[in-house]
Structure 1
């Protein structure tokens, strides 16, 4: 299907202008548009933003580590259409104490029925506005027990073992469990916050810190932050613990527990180079600072691109910067995902696929073309494997997800890897210089705005293809975005990217010949991963013992490599790997590693299921709610979802 005309975003008229609100600097803020096309409809919010929408959130909250909740107030700036008498907010278990207008007058509200995952609506009466379209509402509230966005850690779950820790994870739709707002990526908002925590804990957030912390009595300190760029609400993030900071450059640094900070600082030493590479390719970095925080191991993802403060798993630390593609990826979100953001979860590739492509370009600039080509080959192989496993006609292999799919249930390879291959294909058909110019103007034209696949393709047709029917046919745009499987014009990885490794794989498959120890140790982490990913599925104890002895797999300091070794060992019921797998699953909470290892154990039946059950009973409490939910489903855990 082709769009004969570039039908873009419709902006509701009452939302087009700017407004002045009492923010951190009392400055005028522009209001990001609301998209009203069918493609921009978000099924996972209760909000009705064409009637009334949140434009700014001001939080004044206390972190209560004993009760494991946040409590305080959220003041929302609301813009409403003429005649609108209510606003609908998203909640997931929030405990509401009362709601008033900006003058302290009580406002009526009702809380609707809760739907699993989605939560419940809060319908707030707006009261008499005196004809003004802008107004404020103040919500007194606390997060409910076990709010899924918040991970509260006991001291023994941290590196130091002395102080508690908390962090939030808002994507996809979890922030509604600690912030009462319209929790949809298409409803961009500015925000500010004042957060108190007990001494000596330090609070950090995904905004610019305002001044120094202040003593508020009772052994507590207050920290203030502001974000004056319109962002999707899932990017509001907080963390607090025994944290120290190290500079990495004039606009970058890293937070971590003191025990982790030296290794984190060393691993992240290329950060300024990565930022400069991104700017040289796709325009200015527009967020002021690029800081990071290395969280305790229970963080469920590799990284989360919270503006000004990327959240990172400690599992990326390898001692040789071999996993710094993760940093390039999270940084790349500063252009794709944070600057331009999908309006709905169905367009996940607009964030992750575009970002993965930019990651590869930044990697090439800083680490060289061979490393970038190897990582592209791994990405292509992951996509091909996913299509084979799911079926080439499976709708979940389309980049634009089916309308009914949950944002938690998408096929990652269709969003990350297929998006990467798509843009690499376009780049090689039209030429890098021409493609870079187009992609840069896309970011400039839609900065701090929600976008859809429809808009992306329309812009590409208008500003890149420009009426060239032959180029249109060669690019196969609609087949890439809306079709399943891998289109026939996909750009293939360089055949030489893993030539030596693929020869070694063939030698092992043919005669059981392993690479020499010196050869293995000279390979890059990507080459080691390629070898392990291409191994035969079925290996016996003799094979696995020889492999570990010669390649030192169980001693690897790279968690990506160690994970692949454990996965192969467990699926083949290799008893010597069980203690190491148990230790690994006890110290790592990253779902990329945790869920597949439990799947491998469970799939073996009688051998692995008792092992999985025993390990999970010990480790489940330390995992994030997202990881618990995924593994609960694999193991049929009694009380799943708790």
Structure 2
């Protein structure tokens, strides 16, 4: 998922795929010792605290879905049939994860091919985990089928009215399964430890195109009856579905864009470097193993930058700004085809194995296609954000491999840690060993663990055998331990400088010191990253008059560029620049991507007038927000209201 700072030319998990498009980590977590040891990890590596499933006893090998898309009821209804591997000879229960799912019937296939009713029970609902769904299977049925339907409020689905779409004619539905939201639309062993193949037969209104994270046919007829197959085994968080007025535009023989008709050609032009990105990644890290790579451009309510659903990346339209300045979103989600989708973390506490590796690979793709200056700017921006975050968050959230119980919800991890610190650690290894050694190592790692889910300890064992022991004297085990298990960033972290940012710093200083605006012939060539750095370096507040001068010169208020807006509007709010309020409200109503809007909401709620604007705007925007975004905004407003009530 794309959570990194910029989606560029270059780009705070949730997950939940790509701010981090993640929820800000709690700064008030327990202050117990932050140190995590290798022993802690080894003893708990295969325990997923965010799943009820018991994969050591029985595993889903294949999933067959029969679903109907009902826009009127806002529900998916049908059945899920599981082909099972009973690994424990004493096991007679299939334990699944579910959330707000209504189960109608459960049957099991007998040895004679006939189906029998099975006893089942759904437990009480936990706010984070959902409900434990236990199916009794005394005969250890090879296949079990659950007939069910979802809730209109399923946390992993968003239902949009026609008015909330680009075309304004057809409703839209899409899923977001990461981290643990797949269980809200399919009862599953919702843990990355379990990988399965799947097929699906989906019916929908005939004017609706249905797509899944599977073998979508670009030439498929829009007839309301669709079949899909995913022959490679995937974890549950990569299960995805979407339905709406969608058409296809090819980019290459194996890549293309799906979007609403008014958006598809614009999106295909913005993303036309996709095939080049694929070729670069293959040259560095081995073959692309998923056949096609298509991109689905979702409505603006999508809560993240991107989600790496295999064969079908889900992407926000906020990165389509006409100059390709934010297309590294594609590089990030494509990189997940190796780091995450191919080699997967086995529990959410090891999510750096997905996102840190992906952010590193993304940066290598950006460097290869757009040059080292572009890649270095992105590194500097993300590391500045990491430094700012580490001034506030609990040290327990600053380690790559988390201790069990560190977070109560996997959507609340420190995204700066798993993305930026993780990528920084890999750069450290790259510089110590050199690319002539490190690139083949990483390629071998992806090949060795292909289609497997692993914990941090497995990576460490592989790194020791294939780097530390093979090339002694370059990296010590103590250094490895410090990067992975200790909070903060080690003093030996490689430094990155950006001459282009040095020029931006000089221009900003000249303006702050003397009111001299940067020369137009210089700013005309600035990329999104340079403008972001220009605003990020401003004082916490400015007087309204200087802000008005900047605004008049560069038209920040009303900008279509979300990366600039998510920095300019909080500065405007803090500085009392009320001239931007109308544009702020319009931006918050139009966009549902959490990374872009939460910084502004978080500033608005700090004052009575701002809180009212936030509340009024949210009331209008809420119908178009994804449940994940709604939860974040509600939490920010509620916290401010509680603080006001105590005064």
Q: What is the TM-score with the length of structure 2 in the denominator?
A: 0.90
Aligned: 1:533 with 2:536? yes
Across the two proteins, how many residue pairs are aligned to each other?
A: 601
Q: Is the 8 A contact 1:193 1:224 kept in 2?
A: yes
Which position in structure 2 is the counterpart of 1:78? 84
Which position in structure 1 is the counterpart of 2:448? 445
How far off is 1:2 after superposition? 12
CA distances 1:97-124 after superposition (whole Å, capped 9, x unpaired): 1100122210111111211121011111
Change (3 A) 1:431 1:539: same
Which position in structure 1 is the counterpart of 2:192? 185
Q: Is the 8 A contact 1:329 1:359 kept in 2?
A: yes
Which position in structure 1 is the counterpart of 2:380? 377
CA distances 1:38-95 after superposition (whole Å, capped 9, x unpaired): 2121001000111112111100000011000000110001111212111100100110
Aligned: 1:399 with 2:400? yes
Which position in structure 2 is the counterpart of 1:423? 426
- 3-state DSSP class of the match of 1:597? helix
**Which sections of structure 2, spanning at least 5 residues, go unmatched?**
1-34, 643-647
Aligned: 1:568 with 2:571? yes
Which position in structure 1 is the counterpart of 2:117? 106
- 3-state DSSP class of the match of 1:472? coil
Map residues 319-334 of structure 1 onto 2, 5 A cutoff.
Answer: 319-334=322-337
Which position in structure 2 is the counterpart of 1:194? 201
Match of 1:517 among 516, 520, 532: 520
Which position in structure 2 is the counterpart of 1:41? 47
CA distances 1:542-588 after superposition (whole Å, capped 9, x unpaired): 01101111122225332211222112112222111100011111111
- 3-state DSSP class of the match of 1:554? coil
Counterpart Cα distance in 2 of 1:395 and 1:4: 15
Aligned: 1:253 with 2:251? no
Counterpart Cα distance in 2 of 1:268 and 1:288: 18
Which position in structure 2 is the counterpart of 1:626? 628
Change (3 A) 1:554 1:638: closer
How far off is 1:37 after superposition? 5.5
CA distances 1:256-291 after superposition (whole Å, capped 9, x unpaired): 000111211110111100100110111100000000
- 3-state DSSP class of the match of 1:137? strand
Aligned: 1:342 with 2:353? no
CA distances 1:214-258 after superposition (whole Å, capped 9, x unpaired): 79xxxx621111111111111010000001100000100000000
Q: Is the 8 A contact 2:178 2:238 kept in 1?
A: yes
Counterpart Cα distance in 2 of 1:632 and 1:179: 26
**Which sections of structure 1, spanning at least 5 residues, go unmatched?**
9-35
Q: What is the TM-score with the length of structure 1 in the denominator?
A: 0.90
- 3-state DSSP class of the match of 1:636? helix
How far off is 1:638 after superposition? 12
Aligned: 1:147 with 2:154? yes
Which position in structure 2 is the counterpart of 1:24? none
Aligned: 1:594 with 2:600? no
Which position in structure 1 is the counterpart of 2:245? 242
Map residues 99-138 of structure 1 onto 2, 5 A cutoff.
Answer: 99-102=106-109, 103-129=114-140, 135-138=142-145
Which position in structure 2 is the counterpart of 1:64? 70
Q: Is the 8 A contact 2:373 2:498 kept in 1?
A: no
CA distances 1:343-398 after superposition (whole Å, capped 9, x unpaired): 0000111111110000000001111111111111112211111112326xx11111
How far off is 1:126 after superposition? 1.5
Which position in structure 1 is the counterpart of 2:616? 614
Which position in structure 1 is the counterpart of 2:284? 281
| Alignment root-mean-square deviation, CA | 2.2
- 3-state DSSP class of the match of 2:539? coil
* Structure possessing the higher relative contact order (Cα contacts under 8 Å, 6 or more residues apart): 2
Change (3 A) 1:614 1:70: same
